[in-house]
Chain A
Amino acid sequence: MKKVFSRLYLFIIFIFLYAPIAVLIVLSFNDSRTRAKWGGFTLRWYAAMFRNETIMDALRNTLLIAVLSALIATLLGLTAALSLNRMKQRKRTFVMGIINIPMLNAEIVTGISLMLIFIALGQFLSRWGYMVEFGFGTVLIGHITFNLPYTVLLILPKLRQINTSTYEAALDLGASRFLAFRKVILPDIMSGIVSGFMMAFTLSLDDFVITHFTKGPGFDTLSTKIYTEVRKGIKPEMYALSTLMFVTILLLLLLSGVRGNKEKATVNSSKRRQAV
């Protein structure tokens, strides 16, 4: 009896979590314009979506922003983590605190403040005839800003685990500082770098709030595109688009999950070998 209830409970939780998405996915294949009835299976919304140039534009923007912002945030995060790693405990805790605050900050506050700073910067630069154009550049900077703490957070622990004498051992054996870093430090923190990049990529992919405040007119990513389209009235193409976004992120998550498990497996097996 108890078992039945606990199963039921779990079932209800999954319903709550996934029913909306399931509805979305089902509707994206529905060959009928009304949401109320099932008109048969179709892929035409997907086809329409791929033909829609504004959506394709938004998709290109989204991917470009996601890749670039993840890449730059990972690089910046790596350098930040490297110098944090060399700091004394108290100083490091303090700086880490400062880095973590934007992560906990309400996204809308970050969005508005980014918008304000771009406007202020624009006014400041206008004295010399320059201007800040809201669009690709501002969105990219915004995304790098909110991605950065996550990459630091994922890379730093890997660095902390490294036995510092391995780096010194490499120097001792004749390696230059760069070579020692590349051959000894980098392989050990690669998993952190990769998961930092994936995290940043995923966050950037589905960000709406910050993009909304920094994008300006005429520039859209998928999330802002969906938002504007939906305001005009929901088109089934949007279901298809949302489904695709969901599936993409799900795949990314699965991928990083598999990676994580693999890593654990190798650690375990080496531990076992040691025990033998």
Chain B
Amino acid sequence: MSTKLIDLQHITKSFDGQVVLDDLNLYIRENEFLTLLGPSGCGKTTTLRILGGFEKPDTGRVIFDGKDITDLAPNKRQLNTVFQKYALFTHMTIAENIAFGLRIRKKSEAYIRDKVSYALKLVNLDGYENRMPDSLSGGQQQRIAIARAIVNEPKVLLLDEPLGALDLKLRQDMQYELIRLKNELGITFIYVTHDQEEALTMSDTIVVMNQGYIQQIGTPEDIYNEPQNAFVADFIGDSNIIDATMIQDRLVSIQGVRFACVDTGFGTDRPVDVVIRPEDLKLREIPEDAGEGSDAYEEALNRVRKINPGYLTGTVSHLIFKGVHYEMEVQSGGYDWLVHSTKMYPVGTKVFMSVDPFDIQIMHKPESEDEQAVGVEDI
């Protein structure tokens, strides 16, 4: 994980006057599983198509292994693509599909036979050589598409939402398959998806994109735990994003209550956005019959204060059972907080609500609409 294998430099691309990519800069290291993640229309697929050679950027260069390949035709590139809708050749058998690239490279028949059966084993479909693509299920077809691409031993495999058409269970199985394949083959994967869970599960590096700009680049943990702006926080998982004021280093005021936090360098008395993940909010029932000042009340309050000197009080307004956890909404200060907890608090329960200082993520407020979509380099 060291050398830059691919370097995208100042890539700009527009279709019919609509800017899809604006001065995109991104490098990809060898052996990396990199995911381009974003909502539809964010430019992730266009980035992939530029890498594959199916689109030419308006400006900017694509450097592959030290060489400029910006103007190189797709068939001359050492990359192979797995397409969203499999794109198998329907009039050819599975074996012929997989052998397609090898035949063009004029490999010997014996070599091709070996390679095809090896590729089929790799995707757990040995014995399917003489079947036709139509007779396979969606998941099987996608495996064939992957086999057809990797049999050519590309340096990089591009995957364009390859699991998008599969059902949930199959998608999860295929995620493990892909990780296994990547480890066995030792090649670079560039993966495009709009599914944040898929991105978090498989990637070494996630590139979050929106409106043609890169929002954040980082490991799945970075992206999840320390989103750099409200877009990333909102897009990756559920989160509470609230207006707050940074009073000074390590102290933030949320709904007028001072909370300890760990962030520094935001200045004093500055408006900021605060992100708190629903599973990080800690609830404790307020012992109502005991009343304020009673021992039980004080004990509960002390326990809450141990987590963070600051706390909020609120009322549970919604409750849904989600399997592993309960999803609740807690009304406090005019905001509905989303809370995930393994403990159930019935609707109407009055609760203390607190959060560990480490779990409060402070973000700069965007100063204008435009800035919401600014590249990370500029932040």
Chain A contact residues, CB within 8 Å of chain B:
163, 165-166, 168-176, 179-180, 183-184, 187-188, 270-271, 273-274
Stretch at the interface among B97-105, B192-200, B318-326, B342-350: B97-105
Contact in complex: A165, B87 (CB < 8 Å): yes
Q: Which single member of A169, A174, A176, A274 contacts B83 (CB below 8 Å)? A: A169
Interchain CB contact under 8 A, B89 and A166: yes
A169 touches B81 (CB 8 A): yes
Q: Main secondary structure on chain A at its contact with chain B?
A: helix
Q: Give me 16 other A-B pairs in contact (C-beta within 8 A), A163-B85, A173-B152, A174-B104 excluded.
A: A165-B84, A165-B87, A166-B87, A166-B88, A166-B90, A168-B54, A169-B81, A169-B89, A172-B75, A172-B149, A173-B100, A174-B101, A183-B89, A183-B100, A273-B135, A274-B134
Q: Does B43 contact A (CB under 8 A)?
A: no
What's the least CB distance linking B49 to chain A, in Å? 9
Q: Which residues of A contact B287 (CB under 8 A)?
A: none
Contact of B81 among A172, A180, A270 (CB under 8 A): A172
Residues of B close to A172: CB separation below 8 A: 52, 74-75, 79-81, 149
Could you tell me if A270 and B132 are in contact, using CB atoms closer than 8 angstroms? yes
How close is A77's CB to chain B, nearest CB, in angstroms? Answer: 22
Are A175 and B104 in contact, with the CB atoms below 8 A?
yes
Q: Does B73 contact A (CB under 8 A)?
A: yes
B75:A270 contact, CB within 8 angstroms = no
Chain A residues lying within 8 Å of B101, measured Cβ to Cβ, are 173-174
B interface residue count range (under 10 / 10 to 19 / 20 to 34 / 35 or more): 20 to 34
List the interface of chain B (C-beta within 8 A of A): 52-54, 73-75, 79-81, 83-85, 87-91, 100-101, 104-105, 132, 134-135, 137, 145, 148-149, 152
Task: Knowing A165-B87, A168-B87 are in contact, say whether A270-B135 is a contact too (CB < 8 A).
Answer: yes
Q: Is the CB of B134 within 8 A of A165?
A: no
Compute how far the CA of A178 lies from the CA of B346 in the bound complex, rounded to whole angstroms. Answer: 68
Contacts of A174 in B (CB 8 A): 75, 101, 104-105, 152
A169 to B53, CA, bound (A): 11
Per the bound structure, the CA–CA distance linking A136 and B145 in Å amounts to: 52
Given contacts A165-B83, A183-B89, A274-B134, contact A173 B148 (CB under 8 A): yes
What are the 8 closest A-B residue pairs judged by CB atoms, nearest first?
Answer: A173-B101, A165-B87, A169-B87, A270-B134, A165-B83, A171-B74, A174-B104, A273-B135
* Minimal Cβ-Cβ distance residue in A for B88: A166
A173 with B135: in contact, given A165-B85, A166-B88 (CB under 8 Å)? no
- B135/A168 in contact, CB under 8 A: no
B89 touches A171 (CB 8 A): no
Q: A165-B84, A169-B83, A171-B74 are in contact. Are A274 and B89 (CB under 8 A)?
A: no
A28 to B19, CA, bound (A): 73
A173 to chain B: closest residue by CB = B101
Specify which chain B residues have a CB less than 8 angstroms from the CB of A271 in the assembled complex: 134
CB-based nearest B residue for A190: B91
Distance (Å) between the CB of B165 and the closest chain A CB?
A: 12
Of all chain A residues, the one with the shortest Cβ separation from B79 is A172
Task: With CB as the reference atom, state the residue of chain B lying closest to A179.
Answer: B104
Pick the contact of B91: A179, A188, A274 (CB < 8 A).
Answer: A188
The distance in angstroms between the C-alpha atoms of A172 and B91, with both chains bound, is: 18
Closest Cβ of chain B to A158, distance in Å, is 13
Distance, CA A228 to CA B101, complexed state (A): 60
A171 close to B87 (CB less than 8 A): no
Query: In angstroms, how far is the closest chain A Cβ from the Cβ of B157?
Result: 11
B100 CB contacts on chain A under 8 angstroms: 170, 173, 175, 183
Chain A nearest Cβ from B307, distance in angstroms: 52
Chain A CB count within 10 A is highest, among B84, B100, B145, for: B100
Expressed in whole angstroms, the minimum distance between the Cβ of A259 and any Cβ of chain B is 16
A274–B135 touching, CB < 8 Å: yes
- Given the interface pairs A165-B85, A273-B135, A274-B135, the reply to whether A171 lies near B91 with Cβ below 8 Å is no
Residues of A within 8 A of B54 (CB): 168, 171
Judge whether B73 and A171 touch: CB under 8 Å: yes
Query: Once bound together, how far apart are the Cα atoms of A273 and B133, in whole Å?
Result: 11
Interface centre among A169, A179, A271 (most CB of B within 10 A): A169
Q: Is the CB of B83 within 8 A of A168?
A: yes
Residue of A172, A184, A188, A271 contacting most chain B CB atoms (<10 Å): A172
Once the chains bind, are B73 and A273 in contact (CB under 8 Å)?
A: no
Contact of B74 (CB < 8 Å), options: A168, A183, A184? A168
List 12 A–B pairs whose Cβ atoms lie within 8 Å, in order of A's numbering: A166-B88, A168-B83, A171-B73, A173-B101, A174-B152, A175-B75, A175-B100, A184-B89, A270-B135, A271-B134, A273-B134, A273-B135
Least CB separation from A186: chain B residue: B91
Q: How far is B101's CA from A175's CA once the two chains are assembled, in angstroms?
A: 7
How far in angstroms is the closest Cβ of chain B from A270? 4
- Name the distance in Å between B229's Cβ and chain A's nearest Cβ: 34
Chain A positions within 8 Å of B88 at CB level:
166, 169
Choose among A165, A180, A271, A274 the residue with the greatest number of B CB atoms under 10 Å from its CB.
A165
Please state if A173 and B104 are interface contacts (CB–CB under 8 Å): yes
CA distance A174 to B80 in the complex (A): 9
* Least distance between B15 CB and chain A CB atoms (Å): 11
> Chain A: which residue is nearest B152 at the CB level?
A173
CB contacts (< 8 Å) of B85 on chain A: these are 163, 165
Complex Cα distance, B100 from A173, in Å, reads: 7
| CA A90 to CA B379, docked complex, whole Å | 43
Residues of A within 8 A of B134 (CB): 270-271, 273-274
Question: Chain A nearest CB: distance from B356 CB in Å?
Answer: 47
Q: How far is the CA of A43 from the CA of B300 in the complex (A)?
A: 114
A171 to B55, CA, bound (A): 13
